[in-house]
A and B are shown apart, each in its own frame.
Chain A
Amino acid sequence: MLKGSLNKLGNAVVLLVAVLVLNFTLIHIAPGDPVEAIVGEMGGATPEMIEQMRAQYGLDQPFIVQIGTYLGNVLTGDLGMSTYYGQPVTQLIWDRIGATMLLVITALMTAMIIGTVLGVFSAQKRRSILSHFVTVIALAGFSAPVFWVGIMLILLLSVSIPLLPISGMTSATSEAGGIAHVLDVLHHLILPALTLATIYLAFYSRLARASMLEVLGSDYVRTARAKGMPQRLVIYKHALRNAILPVVTFAGLQFGQLISGAVLVETVFAWPGLGTLAFESILRRDTPTLLGILFFSSMMVVVMNVLTDLVYRIIDPRIKAR
């Protein structure tokens, strides 16, 4: 088991380096560089100034040197300076990560729990209204674009019925601290989290339903019934624990991709997280920030895979043996 973990870790490191190289190359190939964006914002500059700025960011070096320097810096934990914000990229990411985590974890947990519950119920009564409802929700969730869902929810819950704030993480007028601040943030959290959760919910209800249906038809569930277990125990003790495995896998994968999942929702709701940061850094050709975020999200994927693995071991004893 230890050897397996070490192997996995080794693979992950190789993977991360590959991701770095690929990202760096892709961005390098893309037209435009940070200096052009800065010059554009300044409203023009002399060729000498441009040359000087290029040298400052190391952009005058050959590609191979640039990538070598970058990889070396990353290994020491230095993701470089943002060309737009003028701050270290690690600092920028660190400042924004909390907001994104809050949003994604809330949305993911909500979707997972409600989705699993819906899936479990609808699997038990396959021809019930609830079961059809789950199918419809899932289909809608699969096909509806996340930004559209966000805008519709804004129209419904902020415009037609003015219950919730449209955007941001805190009220502009609020200077309260402590409990009031927490409540303010939560109030702002509801809409974006709901939007993101709606999309995730489609996956989870569908997944939980399919997985549950399979498990309910299994021999060991028949055994549990033949033992005279009450329905409640058959479902929640014998079936659910087996059926939850694919849900956990999926949650692990999805959480790893939290940034890509959150970009659109954060943009729609002006939520100050990594998603908006990534979006802005693309617009501003802020290469170091963009690369940093991409690197960070691939790290998240790796970390989540390891965590998923651990949760697996808790749920399913067979995995320990392998």
Chain B
Amino acid sequence: MTTPLLSVRDLEIAFRSDGTDIPVVRDLSFDLAHGETLGIVGESGCGKSITALSLLGLVPSPPGRVTKGQILFEGEDLVGAREQRLNQVRGNDISMVFQEPMTSLNPVYTIGEQIAETARVHFGLSKAKAWKRAVEMLSLVGIPSPDQRAYDYPHQLSGGMRQRVMIAIALVCEPKILIADEPTTALDVTVQAQIFDLFQDLKRQIGAAIILITHDIGVVAQMTDRVMVMYAGRKIEEGPVAQFVRDPRHPYTSGLVSCIPRLMMPPSDEVEDLFEIPGVVPAPRDLNRPGCPFSPRCNRVMPRCRDENPALEVRADGRKVACWLETEVAA
């Protein structure tokens, strides 16, 4: 088997609080192949974003840090890599688009400059060449009259346009991996669709592997090849996207999938109750209790779930699930 582009092994990220390390992500392993799109889903507070930041060595420190495991990028461990080396990787090999386009661009520099400086730092381009490249990128992400827009400041653009600029910044060095952390959460629905169309286009053109973090199951179904579900800092299910939507194995996953409202045709007058998963994600400091962390909210909970935490098992079809139901059924 060839080395995967990115291979995360037994990752644990902890935040220090009152003198103790409280893990927010644990035992996390996953691979990403060239050109693949991996979806990471889960509710807020499941450790998705912090996992993404850790891939770039950007876990806010203090108080956070990677306490265990490896992040192998083309075989090179990025955990504990020198800052200088990380700066070469960031924005060049692995780049990231954040959730908040309104605040993620620096208000005092033109968008052209913010794209161009990335090219200057990584490729050593001259000012003029980098600017030209920035204008090309703006046109690539679908910004009209890019040579004039490049002189605009972020506050002169709408949220959707700003997110396009963020994407242009992320892609200017043609990275091997693009991490998109809920890139459309802050945008209008119509703009969301445009941004995802743009992702699809760019994926074809640039061929980068994408890690898409979202809690929008619809987006996952449309965009990704493979899905990984996280709950309370752990991976609880992983598999190809089609099976994930059609036949979710973990009760949490089926909960997430059932949460998508269906539009009736014709719409019925009777209001259909929306499905919801009761309760909230447990706080990281409550995770040392025995049992499956999802058991308090699970609608198919069994006595065993409260005492023992199920390990991630590989099923016969290659999917991975961490749930006692799987072993019960198999047995």
Contact = CB atoms under 8 A, between A and B. Distances in A.
Contacts of B58: 222, 225-226
Nearest to B110: A317
A219 B155 contact: no
B87 A220 contact: no
Interface stretch (B101-109, B221-229, B239-247, B260-268): B101-109
A238 B153 CA distance: 14
Contact of B95 (A226, A229, A237): A226
Nearest to A238: B106
Contacts, number: 77
Interface in B40-89: 56, 58, 83, 86-89
Interface string A99-112: 00000000000000
B295 interface: no
Contact of B91 (A228, A231, A241): A228
Contacts of A321: 155-156
Interface residues of B, number: 30
Interface residues of A, number: 23
A3 interface: no
A316 B105 CA distance: 14
Of A224, A228, A230, A321, the most chain B CB neighbours within 10 A belong to A228
Contacts of A226: 56, 58, 90-91, 95-96, 98
Contacts of B117: 227, 229, 233, 237
A300 B165 CA distance: 43
A307 to B, nearest CB: 19
A222 B89 contact: no
Nearest to A227: B91
Nearest to A221: B106
Contacts of B7: none
A220 B89 contact: no
Interface of B: 56, 58, 83, 86-92, 95-96, 98, 100, 103-109, 117-118, 121-122, 153, 155-156, 166, 169
Interface of A: 218-220, 222-231, 233, 237-238, 241-242, 315-318, 321
Nearest 10 CB-CB pairings of A with B? A228-B90, A228-B91, A227-B91, A219-B103, A220-B106, A317-B153, A219-B104, A228-B87, A227-B118, A226-B96
